[in-house]
Structure 1
Amino acid sequence: MISIRELRKVYGEFVALDTFNEDIQAGEIFGVIGQSGAGKSTLLRCLNGLEKPSSGSVWVDGQNITSLAGDQLRKARQRIGIIFQHFNLLSSRTAAENIAFPLEVIGQSRLQRKARVEELLALVGLEGKGDSYPAQLSGGQKQRVGIARALAANPKVLLSDEATSALDPQTTRSILDLLKELNQQIGLTIVLITHDMGVVKHICDRVTVLERGKVVERGTVVDLAAQLGSRLANDLFPRRYGHRVREGAAVATIAFSGAVANEPFLSRLVRQFDVDVNILNGSVETIGAEPVGQFQIELFGSDIRSALDYLRSLNIEVEVHHGRTASEQFVDSNA
């Protein structure tokens, strides 16, 4: 659905986006995450033609957006909806009138607009709210109006620019659930710009991590969450520091996903080997439909090396941070 090739955007001497390449499949929810100044919003504006890149190209549904101008670009944008952090609703218009606005712009009749608006209000769960003004709506309801407006012209792609950043956690979850439902019901391709790893975990299929305009990490959310040391994993499973390690003990971080996450492998390890296990930190998260976990553990006993090898035999990734010296009974075999 979207092909981005060698995309670069420079403002004077400042490189906002540096050689970005990506293919986003139809029906995918694709996340772009990074802190302020990472280049996320620049990328989004290039995707819908609000910014002309310094070099490179953006293709949406087979059309080169970067080569268009004037009426051609305006028509292409009708196939690309966008929702914003602060909703950007017209305060003097009702919810229904806000949703109808893009349909007025493209010249639909009053009857066509009315039917489409009623359909969209039902789609986003706002039946009975069409006559309400933005000031009469909650933040979540305003964002639902924004989503309905973005979908008015039946776009194939929806761009979300920090669309849940102004909402409380419960409302954020409801909006993300709505986007997921829309993705599944109508096959909508969604590009989601965010700085919140929790948003990525909840909804995205794949993610790219931007830092100072460069891609520093990319992959499926499940794979990155299960990868020791990835930025996504470090954010989802922050490590504990400052623990006073007992003499002779080892401290390791273990990462696992899939079926093994549902197995009592630590209790089996304690029964099978002469070790005690202390869980210092960690959790198991459900990402998509798959459990993914990381634990920081302290092992103490006479057979630590065998215990670590046992974990590795289960396809659990192991990284030892602290242990006995290389001359003693175990050394991390991955080192």
Structure 2
Amino acid sequence: MISIRDLYKIYTYQRGEGKITALDGISLEVKAGEVFGVLGQSGAGKSTLIRCVNCLEKPTSGSVWVGDEEITALSGARLRRARQRIGMIFQHFNLLSSRTAAENIAFPLELIGYSRLKRRIRVEELLSLVGLEGRGGAYPAQLSGGQKQRVGIARALAANPNVLLCDEATSALDPQTTRSILELLRDLNRHMGLTILLITHEMGVVKQICDRVAILEAGKVIEQGTVSELAAQPDSFIARELFPQRNGFKSRPGSVLVTIAFRGETANQPLISDLAKRFDVDVNIISGTVDTVGGQRVGQLHVELSGKDVRSALDYLQVQDLRHEVH
């Protein structure tokens, strides 16, 4: 649904003498109907990337395709028509304070020429869809942060887009409201087949809603894949952020430290007792966590192994297809 190919965005300053590379050769593929997250800290290039997808920012080079149309090759009326298929919601809502919730939602429909009757019918549908029945006459100042974002989502969906871009859509909200907004986005994704590309600096957002994720750092993708697969790789950025680490624990002489990652059915297996029964090893559990990530149970164990059969125990982990890392 979205194809980003070798994208660069370079800003110049001081009359062209200085340069900042915000995007440094980004390539991503977002499948139709999935929720794809882009995770990174401030300054990583996330906002620039998402603004290039609908050409609010023109990339320096590279291309962005949405469906079978190259968005970065369009301008004028053709670009405006293409943008009708791409909804966008923002961190700070961007609602018009002088318009009611219903009037904010109707605004894009006015721009594309819907009649007053069609606008009213569509706005009522959207208010119901986002859980704001009866609040259409309220002004933004009369709404909570979560309600404002629901208006923003309804407005983004007004023209029936097949792609929704989310620019830090929950970072201005409290945790409980964040969860409810993410649940709404996931419901829209499942029931409408909506493709969602979201950027965030919050791991909890990725964990709750994303099918796949790309990690952005200094304008480059350093890691990408399904959330559960990355979480099950001991040395991945996602795993390091999700699971507690060893916190400086040092192994005793003659023993080794091992991080074992598992997902799916292996998360339910009696791994430690199995190792102890099969091999002449002592297993000291340092820390461990099991969580649900990307719809799958995923976990990590940090253990200290000692005894005669440590090598055989490590080989056994390999045979069982359990990813592990020896420290």
Query: C-alpha deviations, 1:162-192, integer Å up to 9, x for none?
Result: 0011112221111111111101111111001
Query: C-alpha deviations, 1:130-178, integer Å up to 9, x for none?
Result: 1222222221111111101100011111000000111122211111111
Q: Is the 8 A contact 2:91 2:170 kept in 1?
A: yes
Counterpart residue type for residue 145 of structure 1? V
Other-structure match for 1:217: 223
Query: C-alpha deviations, 1:251-280, integer Å up to 9, x for none?
Result: 110111121111111122223333332322
RMSD of aligned residue pairs (Cα, Å): 1.5
Return 179-188 or 264-273, whichever deviates more: 264-273
Distance in 1 (alpha carbons) for counterparts of 2:144 and 2:273: 48
Query: C-alpha deviations, 1:278-329, integer Å up to 9, x for none?
Result: 32223112123211111111224443333323322211112111xxxxxxxx
Distance in 2 (alpha carbons) for counterparts of 1:267 and 1:118: 58
Q: What is the DSSP-based 3-state SS (H/G/I as helix, E as strand, rest coil) of the residue aligned with 2:326?
A: strand
Matches within 5 A, 1:213-292: 213-292=219-298
Other-structure match for 2:3: 3
Distance in 2 (alpha carbons) for counterparts of 1:208 and 1:294: 21
Return 277-286 or 79-88, whichever deviates more: 277-286
Counterpart residue type for residue 135 of structure 1? A
Q: Is the 8 A contact 2:244 2:289 kept in 1?
A: no
Q: What is the aligned counterpart of 2:303 among 281, 297, 307?
A: 297
Distance in 1 (alpha carbons) for counterparts of 2:132 and 2:80: 29
Cα displacement (A) at 1:121: 1.0
Counterpart residue type for residue 85 of structure 2? R
Other-structure match for 2:110: 104
Q: What is the aligned counterpart of 2:210 among 204, 216, 220?
A: 204
Unaligned runs of 5+ residues in structure 2 are: 13-18
Counterpart residue type for residue 51 of structure 2? R
Q: What is the DSSP-based 3-state SS (H/G/I as helix, E as strand, rest coil) of the residue aligned with 1:127?
A: coil
Determine whether 1:131 maps to 2:137. Answer: yes
Q: What is the aligned counterpart of 2:74 among 68, 72, 78?
A: 68
Q: List structure 1 segments (4+ residues) > 6 angstroms apart after TM superposition.
A: none
Return 277-286 or 54-63, whichever deviates more: 277-286
Q: What is the DSSP-based 3-state SS (H/G/I as helix, E as strand, rest coil) of the residue aligned with 1:56?
A: strand
Percent of counterpart pairs with the same letter? 68
Distance in 1 (alpha carbons) for counterparts of 2:149 and 2:239: 29
TM superposition score normalised by structure 2: 0.94
Other-structure match for 1:144: 150
Q: What is the DSSP-based 3-state SS (H/G/I as helix, E as strand, rest coil) of the residue aligned with 2:315?
A: helix
Other-structure match for 1:329: none
Give the number of aligned pairs: 321
Counterpart residue type for residue 278 of structure 2? Q
Q: Is the 8 A contact 2:4 2:65 kept in 1?
A: yes
Unaligned runs of 5+ residues in structure 1 are: 322-335
Other-structure match for 2:15: none
Cα displacement (A) at 1:244: 4.6
Return 220-229 or 129-138, whichever deviates more: 129-138
Other-structure match for 1:52: 58
Return 279-288 or 192-201, whichever deviates more: 279-288
